[in-house]
Amino acid sequence: MHKFITSTYDASIYLQQPEQNAGRDDILEVGKLYYGSIKDIARSLIKFNIDTLEIPSGSKIYLNLKSANAEEIPLEYTIYANAVSQSWSMGTGTKFDNITSDGVSWKYRNGVDTWQDNTIGGSAIFAAGTTGSANAEGGTWYTASQSSQSYNYEESDIRMDVTNIINLWRSGSITNNGFIIRHGLNNEADTLDYGVLKFFSKETYTIYEPKLEIVWDDSTFVTGSLLPTTGSAEEGYKVVLTNLKTKYPTDSTVKIRVKCRDLYPLKSFGTTFEYDQSKYLPDGSAYYQLEDYRTGEIIYPFGDYTKLSCDTTSNYFNMSLNTLPINRVYKLKIKIVENGISTIIDDKLTFEII
């Protein structure tokens, strides 16, 4: 099962605009650029409200940022996400058009109070090379609460495992002040140019705002008196979704039935129609995938978290439509793996969220 929640607020902060707020920008930036001998560093802060979020045991949680553009990035690089150690406010400014200082910036966490560098609970908090001083700049964060992901120049979207940080927030070990997204301090301090990664923010008028993705295996398998499929998906049996509707309400969870029947059932003289007899796909052999019909973007990919379940009626899967954009058309595909060979069922299985 996959579930998404969108960000509550976010902002970028810049070394060369130390008191300027950019909370209303539709772009978040992470990078380091040189303008001649002048170095500029960009970091981004993102907050999610997880107070009422239900997270099943054993879940993994990923931070998802969709790239809007990437400029002059290196062949390989690493991005870090840390738990921010102090509260901050988003503000109403933008980098170029609406110049304000009413929210978070490189120097201030809320337009008034400076970032404070100290140590809390034995876990060091660092900021922009100014550790040990009373005032800090560039944000402060817990070094022990950190996630990272390495990328190459062809990869500019971020999907980073932040399960450990989320669990610390949920346990109350540290306060949820959101994430700070950045390059490593050593990279920011060296003389190399790392370019700029640009991501869609919560202010974007697209479907790509920052998200937390919660994934877990919710599959169960009980076959009862059902018989297994025989032959292959290519020529032995037919796979259909029997209860797929054309429209579903937003923020719902739906149960989709997957029925398998023989293409050419043997004739028998009984009281039931042979074409109505459902058979099951073996446990761990079948998966579903959800895509945005217009863009082709994969939302829920084939994998361990989209396995088909089975009960005494047929195979099925539960699918969360939580926070998925409304008034868009989505497409389902089924993958069946038999003897190491994958068959994709792509029968224009579409629906709209309203």
pLDDT digits (tens, 9 = 90+) for 196-234: 999 999 999 888 999 999 999 999 999 999 999 887 777
Strands 9-14 and 315-320: unpaired
Instruction: Give phi and psi for 293, each to the nearest 5.
Output: -65, -35
Contact 82, 73 (CB under 8 A): no
CATH label, 227-353, candidates 1.10.10, 1.20.120, 2.60.40, 2.40.50: 2.60.40
State the first-to-last Cα distance of the chain, in angstroms, to the nearest integer. 21
Question: Residue 122: what pLDDT?
Answer: 37
- State which residues of the chain have pLDDT below 70: 118-135, 264-277
Question: Residue 307: what pLDDT?
Answer: 96
Burial per residue of 55-65, b for 16 or more beta-carbon CB atoms within 10 angstroms, e otherwise: beeebebbbbb
Question: Residue 264: what pLDDT?
Answer: 58
In angstroms, the CA 351 to CA 246 distance is 4
The token pair at 97 is 């058009």
Question: Residue 36: what pLDDT?
Answer: 86
Classified as helix, coil or strand, 270 is coil
* Structure-token match 């669990």, residue found: 167
Return the sign of the alpha-carbon dihedral for residues 280, 281, 283, 286.
negative
In angstroms, the CA 64 to CA 330 distance is 20
Question: Residue 132: what pLDDT?
Answer: 37
pTM of the entire predicted model: 0.88
Classified as helix, coil or strand, 304 is helix
Candidates 214, 174, 210, 183; CA nearest to 78 is 183
Contact 196, 237 (CB under 8 A): no
**Domains of the chain: which residue ranges?**
2-215, 227-353
Which stretches of the chain are DSSP H helices?
Answer: 163-171, 185-189
Question: Residue 322: what pLDDT?
Answer: 86
- How open is the CA angle 232-238-243, to the nearest 5 degrees? 140
In angstroms, the CA 12 to CA 56 distance is 32
Question: Residue 71: what pLDDT?
Answer: 84
Question: Residue 15: what pLDDT?
Answer: 96
Question: Residue 127: what pLDDT?
Answer: 47
Question: Residue 266: what pLDDT?
Answer: 52
Look up residue 26 and give its amino acid.
Answer: D
